[in-house]
Amino acid sequence: MNRRTIAPALLVIALALPGFGVEGDTPDNAPATEATAPAPAAPEEAPVTEPSPVAARRAARAKRERAPRVEESVRMRILDIRLAVGGTPGPSRVRDDYEAGSGSSLPTGGYDYGLKKQGGGFLQVGFMSGKLRDHGGLIWGVGLRSSGYRIDVEATPTIDRTQDLSYSTFGPIATIGYGYAFGEHFHVEAGPYLSVGAARADWFDRDATSTYREATADGAFAQAGVRLGGYFTIVRHLVLGLGLEYGSSIAVLEADHSASSGKSKLTVRTHGLGAGLEVGFRF
């Protein structure tokens, strides 16, 4: 065939193909494409805010509470019963506010008396407790204390055995302070102490014949001071110690003089350095 006959033939074939069920791809019968889901939106990031000071402190405290605690080692446990005996300064001043009676040869007034002899002793029993760690520790104790003094009043030369005029105190004593252990067998203690209780004194009056008569005065006292002591643990339960103290006390006592019907109100003061030996049992 020549080109003139081929072209009409191709046109006829093209027109005849739809009749035989052969269709070309059109937009209506184009293969469907699968629908794709839209990509999820990215979550919005929360704004970063600085924690408040209160929240920061709470977080720090919670962190400390969760952290394991490191306990310091206990170098020494003190749980003692102790007995102490020693010497203390006697009254440094005695004032007598005297009220004369019908048979008195002394006028009413206040009298300050000098003392020839001063000094006395004490006996004390008590309990002491504490835990001494690497840096030391708190100690405390309570007990009972009795003190006695012999005094000689310069103004009473005619009283027989005036050196036997006495002044005594009795009452509870308490102390609190700091202790430090130098190893397992020696430690020191330091701190204030306070004692209050009853006081008694032998005193005198001068009757109408100018004869000195003795009488008994009763009242109360208070004492405060500081103490320092060193203690050795000799064996497991035996404790020996030496203590020093410096304190002051005041007592107010009253005496009725039967011979003259007079009355004395005494003010007794002491102050100074004392020392004592101690022995104890450690539980």
pLDDT tens-digit readout, 183-231: 889 999 999 999 999 999 988 777 777 777 788 999 999 999 999 999 9
Between the two ends of the chain, the Cα-to-Cα distance in Å is 136
User: In which band, very low, low, confident or very high, does the pLDDT at 69 lie, cut at 50, 70 and 90?
Assistant: low
Cα(198)–Cα(221) distance, integer angstroms? 6
Cα(58)–Cα(148) distance, integer angstroms? 60
User: In which band, very low, low, confident or very high, does the pLDDT at 253 lie, cut at 50, 70 and 90?
Assistant: very high
Are the C-beta atoms of 103 and 260 separated by less than 8 Å?
A: yes
Match 């006592």 to its residue by tokens. Answer: 253
pLDDT of residue 235: 83
Match 């939106």 to its residue by tokens. Answer: 41
Are the C-beta atoms of 89 and 127 separated by less than 8 Å?
A: no
pLDDT of residue 48: 55
pLDDT of residue 161: 47
Percent of the chain with pLDDT over 90: 47
User: In which band, very low, low, confident or very high, does the pLDDT at 24 lie, cut at 50, 70 and 90?
Assistant: very low
* Half-sphere exposure at residue 256, Cβ-oriented, CA atoms within 13 angstroms: 2
More confident residue, 45 or 79: 79
Cα(161)–Cα(157) distance, integer angstroms? 9
User: Which domains does the chain possess?
Assistant: 74-282 (2.40.160)
Are the C-beta atoms of 252 and 267 separated by less than 8 Å?
A: yes
Please give the radius of gyration of the chain, using alpha carbons only, rounded to the nearest integer: 51
In the chain, what is the greatest distance between 2 CA atoms, to the nearest angstrom? 187
Across residues 67-95, what is the average pLDDT?
Answer: 85
Instruction: Name residues whose C-beta falls within 8 Å of residue 64's C-beta, 6 or more positions apart in sequence.
Output: none
pLDDT exceeds 60 at position 263: yes
Determine the distance from the C-alpha atom of residue 127 to the mean position of all C-alpha atoms in its chain, rounded to a whole number.
17
